Structures are given as C-alpha cells and as structure tokens.
Structure 1
C-alpha cells in the first residue's frame, strides 16, 4: 500500500451497488492494504483518478471536433430512421433550416475534456432530453446500469433470455417460412391500437419456441425487444417464476438504459425487494420504472417482452400470477408495453386468458390452414436434407455419394404428410437421418419410412420410436430387457431431473460407471443435447420426448415407457445416499460467520461437486414427486438426525439458504402426522 497521506478522498459504501458505482470513477488500481485485521470483513479498493488526456495525448487528436463539413447538429425534430444505414446528408438533408448553427472554434479552443460526475436531466428542450438520454445509454448512466446489473445478475435465471448461451444453437424460422404469422405478430406489436398481449398457442411440437426465438431476434434488431424469458421444465431457474421478475428487470435495464436509474432507485429504497412477493417485485422493478420513461424520447416505440413456453412453468399458482402481470400491461400511459406469450393450450392457461377475455389477441398454431403448414414443413425438410446430403457427400468417396436429388420429391412428400402439424417430427427425423454413428443417411431414411408393426402409432410415437428402436433391434429378448432396464435407469433419470446434470455427475449420483452413461447417450443425439464434454449438462432437445416416455397411456404399447413415480423414488434414494458425505464445515473454512462472498467458489465446487449440490437442492422435490412410500419416513428421519445442520450449511454455501425454509415446510407437509382412520 502506498503512503496513506497520498489519498485525499475516502469513500465508504454501505451497499455493494454503491461500491460498484464508486469503482467506475477510478482509473489506476493500487495494491491492496498490507494489513487488514482478521476481524475486518470489509472490502478495500485503492485507486486514483488519472488525467487521461495528459497520459494519452493522441486522444486530443482523435476526439477533437470533426471537420465543419461533416459536423452537423440537427434539430430535435429531424430523425434518422434506425434501419437506414445511409449517410445523414442523404437521409436528413443538408438544409440549413434542419440544423443548429455553431460557430467555429480556434485551435486553442478545440481541446476535448473528460468530466467526472453525473449530468443532471434537462427537460427544457427536446434536444437536451435526447442528448441526456444518449449520454445515459453510452457513458454516464452506464454507472447506474452497471450498479443495477451487478445487483441483479446473481438473481437472473441462467439461459432464460433468447440470446443466452443455452439458446445459442436452437433454431429460428427459415427464410420464406411462417411468413404470414411473423407479419401478423409484427403488425400487432407496432399497432398502437392493438391489445397489449398476444397469445400464440399450439400443441406440443408445433414450433412455438422456434417462432419465439425468431420474433425475439427480429424485435431485437429493430430496437423493440425489452426482455425475454424462455421457460423450460427441468431447468432449475427456468421451470418457475422465482427469478422471472429479476431476469426481466435485468434485460430491460440492459436494453433500455433510460430505466436504469429508476430500477436502481427501487432497489436502493427497498434493498430486500428481491425477497418480496413476485407481484411487488414486478410493480417496483418493472412496471413503475417503465411508467417513468419520458414519452418524448426519440424513437421510443413499443417495448416487447417475450414469454415462451408458459405451460412449462411448473406451479399453477405462478401461472395465475402471470395473468395479473398481463392485466397491467395496458395501463402504462407513457410506454407501449407489449407482451408476446407462447404456450400449449393447457387448462390453467386457458382459464387465465378467459379471465382477461377481450384484453388479448391470440393465434392457434394447429388451426393455421394445412397448406401453409405443409409449405413450411416441406421447405424445412428440403433445406435440412439438402444440407445432410452435401455434408455426407463431402466426406465420402464418389462411388458412395448420395444422388444429387436425394431423397427425392416423393420421399419428402411422405415425410411432410407424416409430420403435419408437428415441426418437432421434421426436426427429429433430420437429426436422426444425419446421425452417422448409426448408419448412412440413406439407411436412416429407410427406417423412418418403414411402416410400423402393430397398427396405428401416435405422432409422437412416429417421431421417437425410430430413434429408440435402434437401441434394441436385432438383439435377443434377454439382451433387449437388459438394454431397456439401463435405458429406464439412465434416460429415465435424465427426463425427471429438476435441473440438468453432466454425464459424469449423473454417473456419480446413479452410482454407475461413466462409460455406461456415455454409451447409452451415444445413439440418442437426435433426441438429447449430448455435450462433447462429460462435465457439461445433458439436456432434452424438446419436452415432447419427456411427454412420450412418461405418458401413462403408452405403458402397454411402448417398451421404453418410464414409470415417473418409481423413477422419482429411486432418484430420491440416490440423493440421500450421495448426501451421506456431508459434515460440519465441509469446505474447511475454519471461521464460523465467514460471509459466502468471501469464500472462493472453486473451493465450494471442490468440496460440494455438482452431484452433491444437486442432491442438496432436490432430494425433497423427488420425494414429493414420488408420493409417500412406507420406507420413506425411516430413511428421511435418519438422514435428518445425522445431517440436518450439515445440509442447511451446504445449502448456504451454494447460495440456496433462502430455499431451506421452503424445503423444510415441504417435508413437514409430506410427513405430517395424520389421524388414524
């Protein structure tokens, strides 16, 4: 540490948000203090504000005033359309009446300066308001943005936004497909007189999420996307609404800098807001900040929030709450808030929309005229199969290549008829045909087109059974049963997990060799997202695969059927077995009361690996999903007697301490004493 006498300003930050903002002002980082008391839990940052212009004189040249012939300051009423990339002269003209005259500067006057601090709002003219909003979005309120995002990022649902890493490789609509539908959605969003909510509903596999990603991408490009949340059952933070509002608020703050200050004020005024009810969170972090946006900001059009797969939100009362949020969208007077929702037409959602009848616009995917669906599925199949043909032909000798017109119009027509109205059929079939681990595309296509024995098969059966049959075809009855048992154990566990696990973590929690898990996954790439790394989670490509395997009506005719309750029961037992490793001070901190923020996350991961973290969070969930069995009480009671405090400590170490109360309440409800009949 440098001489303390060199520091002239001391800034004490009471909250982390202010601490982040303070650091944004500083340029030169110094060493940390040489000595801090072991009882001192504060964080210290020693830095200085540098004179950037003296340090980098080239900045003067780079940022001096441009040549007068190119330096035009237009009046506030002149707007350059955001989608037009032409020069301002071409679009906005060089008419002196459209510009604000400015006097020339001398060389001595033409020196840039860097100012530290915050520019106050100025509402006296449109130009000042616009200038301030630009400053907010690019430089000054960037401090507010960073402070808000620093507070919210830890509460954001991982992978829920349309442009997240988890959604990166998921498809959007091909060109010249879904044309009328996308045009209708765009027209709804841009129409000031349209309803605030648009509900796109359709049965499983009809392409709702692909449409959502396309709509989100298009609105993002046009500057109208405010936020997005893609629900996904079986993904911890995406299967419910616990982090819905914080994710939407973070997205809005990132995309609409003008609300950053208002969100920051809401958090400053109520630091516990993220622990309040979702209704209060929405009002303070979303609705109120949006209501404070100045309506005269240039180019402020509709703000669209996209909510995909609402039916995958696992709690019905959360779905009911969502309709309260929908009902408020139309009440904003300063902002045109639009909400685009997709879901299956499940009963709770139908009832919710019934309650706000007349306040939403809807479109039913499976009611779209069949010729339109046929055209779009045909276009998709032609595109994907041509890509498969080209990739295969590039990898083999000339005599093995597929014909230039493979698979031919008649085969494509047959596949289209098999698919209608399920896009997921077309997607799965293409993934299956492209999977070289099994056979050539030619042979794979023949398997798909082969008539199935046993009469009528459901569309989901036609989608998934060609893939699954490859696991057992040609094997003896005893070998088939061995494979099916392994399938139920490994794949059955994957489809009922509360949060995805990697192959290595899944192997440890099931207590089977990792090779067994990876070997079972090798031939299922067309129905599962199987990662290259054994440490990356395995995910379902589409929820309909889970639906197909767990459907009670398929029990008799589907050899791959999975008993959901039995699988949950087995997983609960696996979790409790894994948790026997828990002990006091499992991370060897040796300092009771140490804040979690002061503990190295790598240390937590070492002592609490993914399978242990999963078991800590979800063993109660699996017990609930399995129902009450006679043997549960003794096993659970024994675990709690040995490890209750260790379990709560571990939840705290992985940042889930708040959930321990709900888990204990769930256990009490599950095992409460019932009167003898």
Structure 2
C-alpha cells in the first residue's frame, strides 16, 4: 500500500495479530478489485519486519503452482523452515519419512507439515494466505478451510490471515464451528476513508508520471478536477484507478491526451447504470483503436483471435507458445498487443506467460451486454471453437509415436531424464493442446454444435493420433484428463469410436499411467479383436507376444478394474447419490474412488469391523456403522472424522436425511436412533420392535416428519418424529431387502429380487 493509505484496515489487522486472546483466523473479504492483495502484501511486510511472519502463500489462478491447493501447506512449511532453524530441524525428519506427503489429503498434510513441527518447537508465527478464491477448489466447502478447521485448535500459537472473495464454498468454510474467525468486509469500510486513500494513490501516481515523462507534458498537470473525475469513476475500487493510471502511462499517446480521453468523454446512454469499470474499459479500448479502420476486417479478426485466446486460455500461455498454436509469429502477437499494456501484462520475453491484469477485464470483454461494441466484444463459445480447432491442428501435426524417444519397454519412473525429454520433445504448446483441446470444444458446443471442419479434424485425431496423445498424457502425468476429455466430448458423429476409446483407456488405465510405451504394447494387445481402436491401430502393435484365445471380439461388461492394496478385501460397495463416487469397505478399511476414473480419492481406517455405509445426498459425507456401536461421520473431502456417535449395539444400517442434518441408525438392540449431526446429540430413539433388528433399511421424508425402517421379519414401521406415533405395515415377503420413502412421507416403495411394490402409508395397503 502507498504510505498513508489503508491505515485503518492495517491497524485493525495488526491489533488482531498482537493480541493472543483473539481468534486464530482473520478473514479479509471483499469484491474483486477492492485492494485485498495489496493489503495482504503490506501486512506481510510489516509482520516480517516485526519478526512475526512465519510464511505466506499468494494464490493466483495464472500460475499452476500457485493455484494448486495441494502445494499450499508444503510451501508454507518450506517457508517456515527457511525462516526458522528450529522449525527446519523438526520438519526435515518428517519430509524424509513422508517423501510423497504432497499426495496426502490436505488435513493429513497440515497435521504432518505444520501441526507436528509447531508442537515440537513451540514457535509462534503469523501465516498469510492471499486470494484463496483463486485456488482450484471444486468442493462445496473450501478444502483448505475444512483442513484448517480440523487442526487449528492444535496450533494455539499460530495466526492465519486469509483474504478472498466471499464465494459460496469459502463462506461455507468459514462457517465451520471449529474455525473461530474475525471477519472484516472491505466494502463495509467507511467510503470517505476509501475515497481518501484512492485519491492519495491517484495523485501520487500521476505526479510520478508527470516527473518521469515531463518532456511530453506541458503546463500544470494534473488538475484537481482531473483527480476528482478519476476518483468518481473508481466507484471505491482500487483496480479501476490502477487500470486508468496504467492507460495514462502507456505508449498509445501522451499522458495529457490519454488523461483527457478519460475525464472529458461524451457520456453515452449505453453505459447508464453500468459500473465504473465498464465505462473505463470501453473508453480505454476505444482510445487504443480510434485510428483503426472499422472496415479492416483482417486487423480486427487477428485482434479478436489473440485477445480472445489470452482471455479464454485455460492457463496463461507465453507469447512463443501462443504464436505456435495460432500459427502466427511472436512478433505478430507483440504488434497486436503493444498498446494493450493497461489491461494485459505482456512481458518482453517470449517465454513468459501473457496475463490479464485483472479478471474484471475478462468478465467485461466476454459479456455482450457490458461490452456492446462489436470491435471489442469476445464471443466466448466462438473463440473456444477457434482454440479447439488450433489445438487439433497442432496435435495432428506434432504428435508422433514415442515422441520422447524412450526405450520401448521402459516404465516412466525408470527413465531418469524423462522430465528433460518432456520439455525438449513435447514443449509447452503441444502440452497445452493435449490437455485442453476437449475442454475448448466442450465450451464451444454452447454455440450450437461443431462445424464440418472441426469434425474432420476430430476424426483425423481419433483415427491417427489417439495412441500418441495417450502417450503424451502419460508422460505429463495427466492420463485422467483423457477420460474426462472422451466422456464429455460432444461429437455425436463419432460417438461409437469415442466410446470405444474411453473403454480402451479405462481398461488399460493403470498400465498406461505407469508406462507410456505400454500404450503400444500390452494395452492394444488386450483390446477386443473387433474393437474400432484395435482395427485402426493394430499396425502399431509392437509386442512380439502372441495371445491365443485370450481376447474376445467385443468388450465384456467390465469397464474398469480398480486395484486394491495387497491384503485388502472388499465386503460391500455403494455409489454416492450423484454417481460420482464409489465407496468400498472391508473389515477395518473404507476406500472412496472416483467413479469415472477409478482413482482413489480417500482412505479411511477404523478400529472395528464395518457393517454399514451410506453417503449424504451431496456426496460430502460418508457414514460408517461399526460392530460394537460406534458410528463415524466422515468428511469425504478432508478424509477426517466430522462426528462420532456411540451406542450400545452394532449399527447394521445407516442413512442420511435429505437435508443432511440428521442420521438414522438401526441395530441389534431392537431400537432405531435418530442423530443430529450438527449438534452431535441423539434426537430420539424408537423402541418397540419384536426380536433383534438384524436388517434395517431406513428412509426419511423430506421434512423429517416421517421415518421408515425395514425389520428382519418383513415388517415396515413408520414413525412420526413430532408425535412419536408409529405404525406397522406387514409386507409378508421375506425377500424384500430395501425400502424407500417418498419425500412427502405418503408412500413407501419396497424392493425384492422379483418386483417392487408401492404402499399407501395412510391406509397401509399396496
């Protein structure tokens, strides 16, 4: 922050840091462009000057290693070790004992890398994590905050300062009961204070520009009116002031002329009611291209192609890579972008990525209502289609068999110089296209389907380069991308071929993942003889082994074989409600797998035999009922126990309510218990069953009024949770093994191997 600005906010943060009795976590939240990251940087510098800063992590969606959640705790631990020799002494043995700790779940990482060293050393420290919303996190509750909630109370001497936009998954994370947090919404800071800070910032930067570029400025500049107009345009957002000042300092024209364009434009009714940032972006783009001929279709086509590719690329690309993908030269791209430095960060080096100055520019230029000028508007589906086409062209040109020249039967891990070969032989442009082509085509399908040129390129890719693509993904350690790419491909004309490709990858996933060359050897050898993939690529079979009567003509019903650890036996499996996850449990272990790829997502170890398992409706929690009476509610995202309930009998069946706040369990003591997951208490117990309850299927009505459960004597009992009244329905069919209750509690379905029956709960009849 500029000296003298944001002092009120910084004082509040520093006061929190100084008082050990305050909350362990401070969340500075606010909308995009309000200055959160600048404040975080200034606070980190001040904390470091006092000797309090332990580590910092500044998230950014533009950098793969700064948007990866699984690198945060490892980076923080390394930063702490660099600053403290005591912490380093405690950390090194942990790293040596856990060389692949980055592959652990976030709570496990946090426990090993931070909690244990802090407990051992007794150190005090402040940890800064900026722009948490810029990390890739698809969970409904922030994975980072969920992990922090598990362990924060085990680190009483550590303070966490976190900034981020108030997005749903982050707000949900800060609502976790164990995460005591002080919250400061930046938009609640007094507007007069914010305006004063922005005014100081604008005046300082304009004075700096005037001093540095005095030869191109005449007279008294800037005027008080100029500063006042800029301040009004910022609408309290520092990012708008920053964009305006970068534009004034650009090479488009003299600072005086550019400032005049900002402060003296004729107002257009098109922009009434729009935010200040939209008006500013429109003015800047209009000024930059005011001398361009509106009829120069070639210029604007190239402008749209380059800017659209930068804005919509799935990760920032260097100028050299972008040029190769778009079939241009780096100099062509430099010429197009030379005047766009006020909204883009364009390094002089061809090998450094081009980045958007602020996400608000991408939001503006891809929204036709906010950016109605056709010269500037980027049609996202259209440009995704163009990027998909360029990706396919590059892959169809560059992909070859054994692209890195590795030994024919080598495992990837056995090729010591494979990383160097990857950089040299695959390089950034081809790597990007292999990982991103399908996503671009998927996003382009929103425009109404793919053109014949796209279909031709896709057909060429699948019939000539599929195996080489899988080889590259194996070397890049992104083979799972192939499954998502094939599964989500919208091309209906090649549906049979794409389905066959997906079966091929799923069946040979583990072998190809470990050895890229396995694609051409055993993977193809074990493919059915009439498979389209086998027929297309049989000429590329490298193995000298001849299989006799080992492979049939078509695929069997098995899609994927998921290997388990040695000695692990599976007794039952269950799909999550969304179908995205599979839970398999044995005697003392549960594993959760990605249903599409078969990749192990989590492993849970328990201390007693498991007799029942169920997912919550949102896939977020998994409950396990154990012999002996313990019921554990697991957080699937973090791999930790969220809640434990104890009862005096084995839990033969468990089920979540629709809303996920209640849990039912039934067991061997002739009772069914209803548990409140949020409070951790027992809501009620249902008694009155005849005989031991050895087989219970449980259902909830949507409003939790009715609960139904199936007894081993083929009786269904329904309970009204409000009146505690129960009714019995005699099904008289010992083959019934499952029941389901309608959301309104009026009907019940019973399922047996031969039929399903619907029951009216009011009359008790079928």
| TM bucket, shorter chain | 0.5 to 0.7
Q: 1:272: Cα distance to partner?
A: 3.3
2:349 aligned partner: 533
Match of 2:223 among 404, 408, 413: 408
Higher RCO (C-alpha under 8 Å, 6+ residues apart): 1
1:309 aligns with 2:131: yes
1:613 aligns with 2:431: yes
Output the CA distance in 2 between the equivalents of 1:544 and 1:240: 22
1:495 maps to which residue?
Answer: 311
- Return closer, same or farther for 1:234/1:569 CA change in 2, 3 Å cut-off: farther
Q: C-alpha separation between the residues in 1 aligned to 2:191 and 2:422?
A: 54
The C-alpha deviation readout for 1:197-239, integer Å capped at 9, x for no partner, is 1111111111111111111222222222222222222432333
Q: Which residue of 2 is the match for residue 448 of structure 1? A: 262
Indicate if the aligned counterparts of 1:392 and 1:401 stay in contact, CA closer than 8 A: yes
* Contact 1:232–1:309 under 8 Å retained in 2: yes
The CA deviation at 1:274 is 2.3
Q: In the alignment, is residue 343 of structure 1 matched against residue 164 of structure 2?
A: yes
Q: Which residue of structure 1 lines up, in the alignment, with residue 60 of structure 2?
A: 232
Q: Secondary structure at the match of 1:342?
A: strand
Q: CA deviation at 1:369?
A: 0.7
Question: Per-residue displacement from partner, 1:73-130 (whole Å, max 9, x unpaired)?
Answer: xxxxxxxxxxxxxxxxxxxxxxxxxxxxxxxxxxxxxxxxxxxxxxxxxxxxxxxxxx
CA distance in structure 1 between the aligned counterparts of 2:217 and 2:442, rounded to whole angstroms = 54
Q: Is the 8 A contact 1:240 1:318 kept in 2?
A: no
Superposed displacement of residue 384, structure 1: 0.4
Listed as ranges, the matches of 1:57-68 within 5 Å are: none
SS of 1:243 mapped into structure 2: helix
Higher helix residue share: 1
Q: 1:559 to 1:240 in 2, by over 3 A?
A: farther
Give distance in 1, aligned partners of 2:489 and 2:470: 19
Partners in 1 of 2:118 and 2:44 — Cα distance? 19
Deviations 1:323-358, CA, capped at 9 Å, x for gaps = 21231453125x522111111222332233234497
Deviation at residue 620 of structure 1 after TM alignment: 3.9
Residue of structure 2 equivalent to 1:391: 212
Rounded Cα–Cα distance in structure 1 between residues aligned with 2:57 and 2:47? 14
Q: Which residue of 2 aligns with 1:244?
A: 72
Structure 1: gaps spanning 5 or more residues: 1-172
What SS does structure 2 have at the residue aligned with 1:362? strand
**Alpha carbons of 1:443 and 1:191: their partners in 2 closer, same or farther (altered >3 Å)?**
same
The aligned counterpart of 1:650 is 472
SS in 1 for 2:479: helix
Structure 2 contact 140–168 (Cα < 8 Å) conserved:
no
Give the Cα–Cα distance (whole angstroms) in 1 for the partners of residues 445 and 108 of structure 2: 33
The 1:176–1:453 alpha-carbon spacing in structure 2 relative to 1, beyond 3 Å, is same
Matching residue within 90, 94, 97 for 1:269: 97
CA deviation map 1:287-307 (0-9, x unaligned): 3332322x2xxxx43x22222
For normalisation by structure 1, the TM-score amounts to 0.66
SS at match of 1:667: helix
1:590, CA displacement in angstroms?
A: 4.8
- Conserved 8 A contact 1:373-1:420: no
Partner residue of 1:85? none
Matches of 1:348 and 1:561 in 2, distance apart? 31
Matched residue, 1:569: 385
- In the aligned structure 2, how far is the partner of 1:600 from the partner of 1:516? 33
Partner of 1:147: none
> 1:255–1:375: structure 2 CA closer, same or farther, 3 Å change rule?
same
Which of 637, 661, 668 is equivalent to 2:487? Answer: 668
Change (3 A) 1:250 1:311: same
Asked whether the equivalents of residues 389 and 402 of structure 1 are also in contact (C-alpha less than 8 Å), the reply is no
Does 2:382 align with 1:554? no
Alpha-carbon separation, structure 2, partners of 1:667 and 1:249? 38
Query: SS in structure 2 opposite 1:512?
Result: coil
Aligned to 2:197: 376
Superposed counterparts of 1:607-646, under 5 Å: 607-627=425-445, 629=449, 635-636=457-458, 638-646=460-468
CA gap of 1:430–1:634, structure 2 versus 1, over 3 A, is same
TM, length-normalised to structure 2: 0.59
Counterpart contact for 1:227–1:306, Cα < 8 Å: yes
Q: How far apart are the structure 2 equivalents of 1:406 and 1:620?
A: 52
Match of 1:289 in 2: 117
Report the Cα offset of residue 509 of structure 1.
Answer: 0.4
Alpha-carbon separation, structure 1, partners of 2:441 and 2:303: 22
Distance 2:178 2:228 in 1: 40
What is the CA distance between 1:453 and its match in structure 2? 2.3
1:434 is matched with which residue: 249, 265, 268?
A: 249
Determine helix, strand or coil for the equivalent of 1:324.
helix
Matched, 1:477 2:294: yes
Q: Secondary structure at the match of 1:317?
A: coil
Pairwise CA RMSD: 2.9
Q: Which residue of 2 aligns with 1:90?
A: none
Matched residue of 2:236: which SS?
Answer: coil
C-alpha displacement of 1:378: 0.8
State the partner residue of 1:199: 27
* Aligned match of 1:327: 149
Residues in 2 aligned to 1:200 and 1:426: alpha-carbon distance in whole angstroms: 21
The residue aligned with 2:320 is: 504
1:274 match: secondary structure: helix
Q: Residues 618 and 532 from structure 1, CA distance in 2 versus in 1: closer, same or farther, beyond 3 angstroms?
A: same
Rounded to whole Å, the distance in 2 between the matches of 1:391 and 1:497 is 35
Give yes or no for the alignment of 1:543 onto 2:359. yes
SS in 1 for 2:32: coil
Task: Measure, in 1, the Cα distance between the counterparts of 2:426 and 2:193.
Answer: 52
Q: What residue is the counterpart of 1:578 in the other structure?
A: 394
Query: For residues 259 and 636 of structure 1, what CA distance do their matches in structure 2 show?
Result: 53
1:423 aligns with 2:245: no
Post-superposition offset of 1:637: 6.1
Aligned-pair CA distance for 1:525:
0.8
* Kept in 1: contact 2:17–2:159 (CA 8 A): yes
Contact kept in structure 2, 1:234 and 1:498, CA below 8 Å: no
Other structure's SS at 1:598 match: coil
- Partner deviation per Cα, 1:477-508 (whole Å, 9 max, x = no partner): 322x5444323211111012222212221111
Cα distance, 1:552–1:570 mapped onto 2, change above 3 Å: same
Q: Supply the distance in 1 between the matched residues of 2:389 and 2:64 (Cα, whole angstroms).
A: 20
Offset from partner CA, 1:25-63 (integer Å, 9 cap, x none)? xxxxxxxxxxxxxxxxxxxxxxxxxxxxxxxxxxxxxxx
Q: 1:287 to 1:666 in 2, by over 3 A?
A: farther
How far apart, CA to CA, are the structure 2 residues paired with 1:374 and 1:360?
28
Question: In the aligned structure 2, how far is the partner of 1:635 from the partner of 1:522?
Answer: 33
Q: Which moved more, 1:503-512 or 1:636-645?
A: 636-645
Q: 1:447 to 1:627 in 2, by over 3 A?
A: same
Moved more, 369-378 or 508-517: 508-517
Q: Distance in 2 between matches of 1:224 and 1:618?
A: 42
